[in-house]
């Protein structure tokens, strides 16, 4: 049954952004058609260098206004390090969007794909399938932990300080997200913290997560210090199902896990609240690759699939959720067939990889 059309923002961003975002749009359209779902009404919106050229602002107010009226959006990477100095004074565009719309959960799944080289090893039997649930609004990141101003400051030229913020309300809502996700997977949740040296802040995070998890009978729960978790990820990633942690630890651990599984080019993420969601690949803008048809679009494909799954669940639209599954299976099957871009040791261009995924989307 084809239901109402969703309206989704399409923000290409900088560097390889236009290439991978357009690739993800084409794959999503193919999957939606194959699943018998309604088409997406894509709304292109400016951000980054294009927006600076048109509006003298990397994130124009008109873009923010438009996002508020949409069902979700796909965000390409930004290269704010290359912006003129006066355009680097505030939060980078992605952070500003997350804060503006209260996207407090950053969901980062990591899979080891059969046929993909990771650490020089071509995997035939992948042993990593986990999700890192990262609290996205507080912690130690200076652009997210203050109502006004920065969480970093210098009382003297020779002393720099950083404020970490941990509130019960923010911990509770991210813990609920993690518990719901674990219940839908293999029923195991690991709380990652550093309460042995930060007993108030990290201790609060750990304890509140346990309190919330008590409302989910049958869930298997444990906790680990972040350094132990990093070592455990390297040694036995297959032991994990869902990990929940604070902002900075989640950022670091998810990048580590992505490289263990394959590369950042395969690492998707979804930033969301209970009412809005944004697909955003974990990787950056890679300006040296821009325009050369060499970028890996898989992370953006998989991020867009996460957005479709989120939209389908919220709208109770089985066809859209089926389209998301088609994308995920098609990407995995493409890798298993030995087709990959240069970052994974392959020879496929961005456009060639895209066409291979599009062809496989139709088979499921």
Catalytic residue positions, numbered: 141, 194, 227, 251, 255
Question: Are the C-beta atoms of residues 323 and 35 closer than 8 Å to each other?
Answer: yes
Tell me how far apart the alpha carbons of residues 89 and 361 are, in angstroms, rounded to a whole number: 43
Signed CA dihedral, 225, 226, 228, 229: sign only? positive
Residue 165 DSSP label: B
Which of helix, strand or coil describes residue 80? helix
268: helix, coil or strand?
coil
Q: How far apart are CA 299 and CA 142, in angstroms?
A: 26
E strand or H helix that includes residue 311? helix 298-315
Give the residue from 132, 134, 63 showing the smallest Cα distance to 96.
63
Cβ–Cβ under 8 Å, residues 205 and 168: no
Residues 316, 350: Cα–Cα separation, whole Å: 33
Write the CA distances from 19 to 15, 82, 350, 358, integer angstroms: 9, 19, 8, 15
Under 8 Å CB-to-CB from 56, ≥6 apart: which residues? Answer: none
Closest CA to 314 of 352, 356, 361, 272: 272
Distance CA 73, CA 135 (A): 20
């Amino acid at each position: 049954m084809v239901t109402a059309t969703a309206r989704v923002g399409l923000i290409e961003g900088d560097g390889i952004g236009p290439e991978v975002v357009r690739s993800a749009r084409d794959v999503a359209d193919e999957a939606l058609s194959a699943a018998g779902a309604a088409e997406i009404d894509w709304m292109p919106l400016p951000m980054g260098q294009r927006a600076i050229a048109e509006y003298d602002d990397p994130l124009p107010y008109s873009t923010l206004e438009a996002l508020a009226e949409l069902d979700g959006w796909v965000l390409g990477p930004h290269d704010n390090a290359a912006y003129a100095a006066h355009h680097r004074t505030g939060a980078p565009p992605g952070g500003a969007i997350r804060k503006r719309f209260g996207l407090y959960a950053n969901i980062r799944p990591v899979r080891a794909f059969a046929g993909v080289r990771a650490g020089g090893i071509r995997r035939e039997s992948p042993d990593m399938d986990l999700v890192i649930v990262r609290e996205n609004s507080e912690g130690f990141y200076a652009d997210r932990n203050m109502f006004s101003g920065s969480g970093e400051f210098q009382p003297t030229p020779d002393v720099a300080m950083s404020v970490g913020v941990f509130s019960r309300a923010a911990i509770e809502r991210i813990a609920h997200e993690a518990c719901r996700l674990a219940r839908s997977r293999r029923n195991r949740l690991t709380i990652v913290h550093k309460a042995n040296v930060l007993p108030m802040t990290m201790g609060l995070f750990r304890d509140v997560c346990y309190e919330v998890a008590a409302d989910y009978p049958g869930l298997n729960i444990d906790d680990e210090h972040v350094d132990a978790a990093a070592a455990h990820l390297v040694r036995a990633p297959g032991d994990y199902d869902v990990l929940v942690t604070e902002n900075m630890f989640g950022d670091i651990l998810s990048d580590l896990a992505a490289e263990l599984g394959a590369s950042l080019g395969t690492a998707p993420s979804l930033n969301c609240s209970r009412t809005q969601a944004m697909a955003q690949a974990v990787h950056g803008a890679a300006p040296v690759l821009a325009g050369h048809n060499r970028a890996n679009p898989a992370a953006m494909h998989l991020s867009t699939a996460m957005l479709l799954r989120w939209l389908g669940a919220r709208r109770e639209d089985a066809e859209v959720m089926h389209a998301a599954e088609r994308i995920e299976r098609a990407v995995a099957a493409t890798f298993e067939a030995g087709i990959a871009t240069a970052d994974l040791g392959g020879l496929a261009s961005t456009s060639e990889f895209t066409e291979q995924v599009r062809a496989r989307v139709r088979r499921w």
